[in-house]
Amino acid sequence: MNKSLFILVFIFSSVSIFGQKFQKVVIENMDGSTKTGLVNGKSLSDSKEIKFKTDENSKVEPILKSSVKSIDFYSSNDKIYHIDNIFLTNEKKTKTTSEWMLKLISGYYDLYIIADYSFDKQGNLTLSTDYRVGRDLPEFYYFIKKPSEKYADIFALYSPSPTYFGLHKILKESVTKFMSDDKALVDKVEKKKLSTKNIEQIVKEYNEYKSAN
């Protein structure tokens, strides 16, 4: 994990939770059309819809999550946070769900993180730990997906807790499964030269490897 994201992950303040309610956005719909306006960032936690307004004085318009492909959130200092509506399936591929995921890297594999999202008064995004699976320890889920594919795959888990065991094993299995042709990269992960603290670097290195081969 790079330094900027590491800092971002550990900013937990009441300002970020109770800050600006509606955020400037550009929404891309599943049909390719776009819509500019404001979205309540907290409504990303709703499993069915988001709260949208065309401007500060307009009425709230619920938009079905299923109709949205992605949302670009804009901060007051021109940062853009791209959040995609990503589809997932269970192991037996008998059930499909979708989750809002923040895109971290684009390339041969796009890398995403799933967490709880909130915005401060300047519109800066804060990631907080995801407890939705019922665990007591803080954890962040990383997914990868080729741009041409519909579904994302779990790639790694990260936790700042020193008592959360087994995370490197998950990462090593994923690198072996999805990146086996890059022997040097697999070796680095197996020898723990790269770990769950280097998830972005791992995906960047593999994308660079694919570009060069």
**Tens-place pLDDT, residues 9-53:** 433 333 333 345 899 999 999 999 999 999 998 888 888 999 999
* Structure tokens that stand for 143 in this block: 């997914």
Label residue 163 by pLDDT band (50, 70, 90). confident
* Structure tokens that stand for 32 in this block: 């390719």
With contact defined as beta carbons under 8 Å apart, do 27 and 39 qualify? yes
Burial class of residue 155 in the structure, from the number of CB atoms within 10 Å of its CB (0-12 exposed, 13-18 middle, 19+ buried):
buried
With contact defined as beta carbons under 8 Å apart, do 113 and 104 qualify? yes
Cα–Cα distance measured from residue 197 to residue 174, given in angstroms and rounded to the nearest whole number: 15
Q: How many residues does the chain have?
A: 213
As a three-state string, the secondary structure of 31-95 is: CCCEEEEEEEHHHHHCCCEEEEECCCCCCCEEEEHHHEEEEEEECCCCCEEEEEEEEEECCCCCC
Q: What is the per-residue pLDDT across 74-111, written as a single tens digit (0 to 9) for each?
A: 998 889 999 999 999 877 777 889 999 999 999 999 99
